[in-house]
Structure 1
Amino acid sequence: MSTAMTFGQKQFIPTPPDKGSFPLDHEGLCKKSMTKYMKCLFSNNSDNSMCRDEAKDYLACRMEHNLMAKEDWSKLGFKELGLNEKDK
């Protein structure tokens, strides 16, 4: 495959998507919380509404380790959580 460019051709510079994609956890920093979430899904016939605490723990871990951008919980679907809920 040739990487040569012809005159006038613009170079393609890929950019990552704003949402929907984040780095893999190659070092296994959040493996424990991910496994807990996956087990919860399996135990609850893939009903993610039963695994909200596990999902929040997993997302909190990813944000803490810069594996995803830090987001407001309301933007991640946790709007209805009470104010006295521990902010993870």
Structure 2
Amino acid sequence: MSTAMTFGQKQFIPTPPDKGSFPLDHEGACKKTMVKYMKCLYNNNSNNTLCRDEAKDYLACRMDNGLMAKEDWSKLGFKDETAQIKEKAQ
């Protein structure tokens, strides 16, 4: 296959998605929390509602280790926890 460009053809420049994709954990910084979350899913027939604490721990680990952008918990589906933290602060 030729890599030559045809005149007038626009060059495709890929851009990463805003969410839904993040760097792999090559160093294994969050492997322990990931395994804990995966075991929870396995033991609960993939019912992620029962594994919210494990999911939150895993996401916190990824944010703390620079493997994903820091986000407000409410944007990650943890609105209940965000409201509880605000109530306790008052």
- TM-score, normalised to structure 1, is 0.88
Deviations 1:34-63 (A, max 9, x none): 000001111111111111111001001111
Task: Give 1:50's aligned amino acid.
Answer: L
Relative contact order (alpha carbons < 8 A, sep ≥ 6): 1 or 2 greater? 1
Q: Distance in 1 between matches of 2:50 and 2:68?
A: 23
Paired residues in the alignment total 84
- One-letter code of the match for 1:13? I
Matches of 1:11 and 1:25, distance apart in 2: 31
Return 5+ residue gaps in structure 2 as ranges: none
- TM-score, reference length from structure 2: 0.86
Cα root mean square deviation, aligned: 1.2
Percent identical residues: 81
Cross-structure match for 2:8:
8
What displacement does 1:11 show?
A: 1.1
1:37 partner SS: helix
Identify the structure with the greater helix proportion. 2
In structure 1, C-alpha distance between the alignment counterparts of 2:67 and 2:14, rounded to whole Å: 20
> Match of 2:62?
62
State the distance in 1 between where 2:18 and 2:53 align.
25
Q: Which residue pairs with 1:83 in the alignment?
A: 85
4+ runs deviating over 2 angstroms: none
Identify unmatched segments of 5+ residues in structure 1. none
Task: Tell me how far apart the structure 1 counterparts of residues 42 and 6 of structure 2 sit (CA, whole Å).
Answer: 53
